[in-house]
């Protein structure tokens, strides 16, 4: 992420510090089915330390600035960690209760309708996309997930990583039952297919937060949930109207209500699909395959045979609305980790639900998946061992695994890729690691899960749930976990080695390749800005033009993930007939190829050497191979975190 993005983010955040009420992001509700409100930072505290100063209070090493936020809100017990570095046999005995501030509460106040009037919300809506006195809608045209440097994110915290997540309570955007179908003051009128409807921006969605994240290059995921507040009963599926559940399935069987949902998401999609204000991942429901579980995060009611058809109808409503305005953002179904487990009949296995959904929604829909990748037993963080409670492996490395977690994530990712293709991306938008088994197991479970996701080739984010839910479910990070989060994917080889030194002995392995064959240490030093610069230069020198956004996204994604080497990516451009045709002489062609690979002019000595090789009958492919094996090219690749590779060529 570049410094410009953070300056924009800092400026936007600074303007919002007078609001202190915040909505937490954890997708799991409390025992009453209500959100747990985080303790916010007061305006007085912020006056003592301005936002600009907070965001500058970070590691400023030059080689870190492009890969790590200017402000990392994780402050581990560094003294104890340094001592542990010096004394290999000592442990960090920091208790979770003593490190509750490792992940500070959300410091950016979200402006929600509960904190502002409907008139204010309407005013915000009226000014979201204007140019002079005329509204101008410019749709977002890029997939933000392809441009992030890391997979890191913390729910509800827009400055803790590259991925932001928030819950949205849908019912707060609709008029109450008593006013449905009537002219309602204080709400924004929205015409859908000629019919007027009245909506407001629902709780959990904030314009300035989203704009700030967009400007800083962060992704924005919003999970849409439906609560029973006693005033919006019509929105709940008729078979699901049972009191006391956390969240409910939306009503897709009453025609007038379904049309109201269509209008509502048309309203939201238009507001939040713009280039400068867009939701990147629309998540529908919460663990929807577990429709009758103990807490019910998406209570369905009725026969299980009706769950997928009703959910698919809801998905189509939202998908069609979003695709009306942009083809670049994602619309995701939300599944839990029960891959082949039905929770004793209370749910549908995630794999079964996915297959039924995919069949019903159709082949032309580019659906994505939001997965909650908790350990099989939520508090058993030793995911590399059999479950102590079950007395067996609940997460084996085979297709029949009851659960998927960080230790066997590939079971799900390979299945999705094989049966549906890699365009159906996966986002790990909620997982927490309990402190119950201690600091070491907690940290190891996180690192294991993160690396499994990073090297799967299918997962684009790992967003953490870090709330203390009591008893065995204290997901607050202890010191080692927090320090691993700070160091992981930093782009620095030293940080990766530090993590290896701390975590691999806990798991009982000497190398990550023992656990995941696709693991590549070189990919842990990725510098997204350097990779982007390499690709831009490659296109400019080879084809004489800038790379299109699609070309740039695809090549950068392939290079940062390690699916392509820098040499193989360059081969198709520098050796193309299109590039050759741009130069009248072989000498000019050699100069251009060298500059495309190394971003500098070739020296007269090197040019003479390559020209002699060509005169001797060597092919241009062979000369290019020599360039990709040169010190300059390898240095560029090393600094960017790309695998250099080479070009296979005979003399």
| Band of pLDDT at residue 79, cut at 50, 70 and 90 | very low
- Alpha carbons 354 and 373: distance in angstroms, whole number: 16
E-strand ranges in 170-289 read 188-192, 195-199, 219-225, 273-274, 277-278, 281-284
pLDDT tens figures, 94-125 = 444 443 444 433 333 333 333 323 333 333 33
The DSSP bridge pattern shows strands 277-278 and 273-274 to be: antiparallel
| Band of pLDDT at residue 85, cut at 50, 70 and 90 | very low
Q: Within a 10 A sphere around the Cβ of 557, how many other Cβ atoms? A: 17
Contact 184, 174 (CB under 8 A): no
Higher local confidence (pLDDT), 67 or 101: 101
Q: What percent of the chain has pLDDT over 90?
A: 70
CA separation, residue 254 to residues 10, 257, 473, 534 (Å): 45, 5, 39, 54
504 inside domain: no
pLDDT tens figures, 364-388 = 999 999 999 999 999 999 999 999 9
pLDDT at 536 > cutoff 80: yes
pLDDT tens figures, 604-613 = 999 999 999 9
Q: What is the 3-state secondary structure (H, E, C) of 159-184?
A: CCCCEEEEEEEHHHHECCHHHCCCCC
| Band of pLDDT at residue 21, cut at 50, 70 and 90 | very low
Higher local confidence (pLDDT), 43 or 397: 397
In terms of domains, do 59 and 123 share one?
yes
Q: Within a 10 A sphere around the Cβ of 574, how many other Cβ atoms? A: 27
pLDDT tens figures, 465-475 = 999 999 999 99
427 inside domain: yes
pLDDT tens figures, 276-290 = 999 999 999 999 999
Would you state the pLDDT for residue 32? 36
In terms of domains, do 108 and 241 share one?
yes
In terms of domains, do 577 and 437 share one?
no
**Helix axes of 566-574 and 586-598: crossing angle, nearest 10 degrees:** 150
pLDDT tens figures, 26-42 = 333 333 333 333 332 22
In terms of domains, do 459 and 579 share one?
no
In terms of domains, do 176 and 300 share one?
yes
Q: Under DSSP, is residue 123 helix (H, G, I), strand (E, B) or coil?
A: helix
Single out the residue of 362, 170, 363, 365 nearest to residue 284, CA to CA: 170
Would you state the pLDDT for residue 649? 80
In terms of domains, do 423 and 567 share one?
no
pLDDT at 88 > cutoff 70: no
pLDDT at 615 > cutoff 70: yes
Q: Is the dihedral of CA 236, 239, 242, 248 positive or negative?
A: negative
CATH number of the domain encompassing residue 565:
1.10.3130.20
Single out the residue of 589, 554, 561, 559 nearest to residue 574, CA to CA: 589
Question: In which region does residue 489 sit, left (phi positive, over 0), alpha (psi from -120 to 50) or beta (all else)?
Answer: left
pLDDT at 297 > cutoff 90: no
In terms of domains, do 425 and 543 share one?
no
Instruction: Examine the fold and report which residue of 449, 480, 497 is the final residue of a domain before the chain moves on.
Output: 497
Q: H or E stretch including 6? A: helix 3-14
Would you state the pLDDT for residue 11? 42
589 inside domain: yes
650 inside domain: no
Single out the residue of 621, 632, 548 nearest to residue 579, CA to CA: 621
520 inside domain: no
513 inside domain: no
507 inside domain: no
CATH number of the domain encompassing residue 469:
3.20.20.80
In terms of domains, do 491 and 445 share one?
yes
Would you state the pLDDT for residue 513? 96
In terms of domains, do 130 and 220 share one?
yes
E-strand ranges in 373-486 read 426-431, 459-464
- 235 by Cβ neighbours in 10 Å (0-12 / 13-18 / 19+) ranks as buried
Instruction: Examine the fold and report which residue of 480, 497, 514 is the final residue of a domain before the chain moves on.
Output: 497
Pick from 82-86, 458-462, 471-475, 554-558: least confident: 82-86
Q: Within a 10 A sphere around the Cβ of 648, how many other Cβ atoms? A: 11
pLDDT at 245 > cutoff 70: yes
| Band of pLDDT at residue 134, cut at 50, 70 and 90 | low
What is the CA angle 449-450-456, rounded to 5? Answer: 90
- Alpha carbons 511 and 554: distance in angstroms, whole number: 30
pLDDT at 560 > cutoff 60: yes
Contact 464, 156 (CB under 8 A): no
- Alpha carbons 77 and 636: distance in angstroms, whole number: 35
Contact 482, 103 (CB under 8 A): yes
In terms of domains, do 260 and 375 share one?
yes
pLDDT at 164 > cutoff 70: yes
Would you state the pLDDT for residue 110? 35
Please report the DSSP string for 125-153 in residue order.
Answer: HHTSSEETTEE---B--S-GGGG-S--EE
| Band of pLDDT at residue 581, cut at 50, 70 and 90 | very high
pTM: 0.76
pLDDT at 9 > cutoff 70: no
Buried b (16+ CB within 10 A) or exposed e, 342-375: bbeeebbbbbbbbebbbeebeeebebbbbbbbbb
Single out the residue of 457, 489, 354 nearest to residue 68, CA to CA: 489
pLDDT at 135 > cutoff 80: no
Number of structural domains found in the chain? 2
Q: What is the mean pLDDT of the chain?
A: 83
Would you state the pLDDT for residue 120? 33
In terms of domains, do 493 and 530 share one?
no
230 inside domain: yes
Would you state the pLDDT for residue 185? 83
- The parent domain of residue 554 ranges over 526-640
In terms of domains, do 483 and 552 share one?
no
Q: Which long-range contacts (CB under 8 A, 24 or more apart) does 537-542 make?
A: 537/595, 537/596, 537/599, 538/569, 538/570, 538/573, 538/574, 538/596, 538/597, 539/573, 541/592, 541/593, 541/595, 541/596, 542/570, 542/573, 542/574, 542/576, 542/578, 542/579, 542/592, 542/596
Determine the average pLDDT of the residues in 557-569: 90
Instruction: Examine the fold and report which residue of 497, 517, 538 is the final residue of a domain before the chain moves on.
Output: 497
């Amino acid at each position: 992420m570049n410094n410009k993005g953070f300056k924009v983010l800092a400026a936007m955040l600074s303007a919002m510090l007078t609001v202190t009420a915040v909505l937490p992001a954890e997708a799991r509700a409390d025992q009453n089915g209500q959100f747990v409100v985080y303790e916010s930072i007061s305006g007085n505290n912020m006056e003592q330390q301005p936002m600009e100063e907070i965001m500058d209070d970070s590691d400023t090493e030059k080689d870190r600035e492009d890969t790590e936020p200017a402000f990392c809100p994780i402050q581990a017990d560094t003294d104890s960690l340094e001592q542990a570095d010096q004394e290999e046999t000592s442990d960090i005995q920091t208790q979770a209760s003593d490190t509750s501030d490792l992940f500070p509460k959300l410091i950016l106040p979200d402006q929600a309708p509960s904190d502002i009037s409907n008139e204010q919300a309407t005013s915000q809506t009226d000014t979201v996309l204007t140019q002079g006195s005329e509204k101008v809608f410019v749709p977002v045209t890029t997939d933000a997930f392809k441009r992030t440097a890391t997979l890191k994110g913390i729910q509800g915290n827009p400055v803790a990583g590259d991925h932001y997540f928030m819950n949205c309570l849908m019912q707060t955007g609709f008029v109450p039952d008593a006013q449905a179908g009537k002219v309602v003051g204080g709400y924004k009128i929205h015409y859908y297919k000629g019919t007027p409807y009245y909506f407001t921006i629902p709780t959990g969605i904030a314009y300035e937060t989203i704009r700030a994240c967009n400007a800083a290059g962060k992704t924005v995921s919003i999970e849409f949930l439906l609560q029973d507040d006693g005033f919006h009963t019509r929105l709940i599926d008729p078979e699901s109207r049972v009191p006391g559940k956390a969240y409910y399935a939306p009503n897709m069987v009453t025609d007038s209500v379904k049309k109201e949902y269509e209008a509502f998401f048309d309203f939201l999609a238009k507001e939040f699909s713009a280039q400068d204000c867009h939701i990147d991942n629309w998540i529908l429901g919460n663990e929807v395959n577990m429709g009758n579980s103990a807490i019910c995060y998406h209570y369905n009611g009725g026969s299980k045979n009706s769950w997928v058809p009703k959910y698919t109808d809801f998905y189509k409503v939202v998908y069609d609305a979003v695709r009306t305005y942009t083809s670049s953002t994602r619309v995701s179904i939300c599944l839990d980790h029960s891959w082949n487990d039905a929770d004793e009949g209370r749910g549908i296995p995630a794999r079964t639900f996915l297959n039924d959904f995919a069949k019903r929604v159709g082949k032309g829909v580019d659906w994505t998946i939001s997965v909650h990748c908790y350990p099989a037993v939520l508090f058993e963080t030793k995911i590399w061992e059999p479950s102590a409670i079950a007395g067996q492996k609940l997460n084996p490395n085979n297709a029949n695994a009851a659960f998927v977690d960080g230790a066997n994530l590939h079971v799900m990712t390979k299945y999705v890729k094989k049966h549906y293709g890699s365009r159906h991306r996966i986002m790990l938008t909620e997982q927490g690691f309990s402190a119950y088994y201690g600091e070491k197991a907690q940290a190891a479970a996180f690192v294991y899960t993160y690396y499994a996701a990073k090297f799967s080739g299918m997962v684009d984010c790992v967003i953490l749930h870090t709330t203390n839910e009591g008893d065995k479910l204290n997901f607050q990070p202890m010191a080692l976990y927090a320090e691993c989060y700070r160091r992981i994917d930093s782009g620095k080889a030293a940080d990766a080695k530090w993590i290896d030194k701390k975590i691999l002995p806990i798991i009982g392995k000497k190398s990550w390749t023992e656990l995941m064959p696709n693991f590549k240490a070189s990919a842990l030093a990725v510098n997204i800005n350097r990779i982007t610069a390499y690709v831009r230069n490659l296109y400019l020198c080879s084809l004489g033009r800038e790379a299109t956004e699609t070309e740039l996204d695809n090549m950068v994604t392939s290079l940062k993930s390690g699916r392509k080497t820098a040499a193989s990516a360059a081969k198709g451009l520098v050796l193309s007939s299109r590039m050759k045709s741009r130069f009248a002489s072989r000498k000019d062609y050699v100069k251009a190829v060298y500059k495309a690979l190394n971003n500098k002019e070739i020296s007269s000595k090197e040019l003479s050497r390559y020209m002699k090789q060509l005169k001797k009958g060597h092919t241009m492919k062979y000369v290019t191979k020599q360039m990709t094996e040169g010190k300059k090219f390898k240095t560029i690749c090393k600094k960017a975190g790309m695998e250099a590779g080479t070009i296979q060529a005979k003399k």
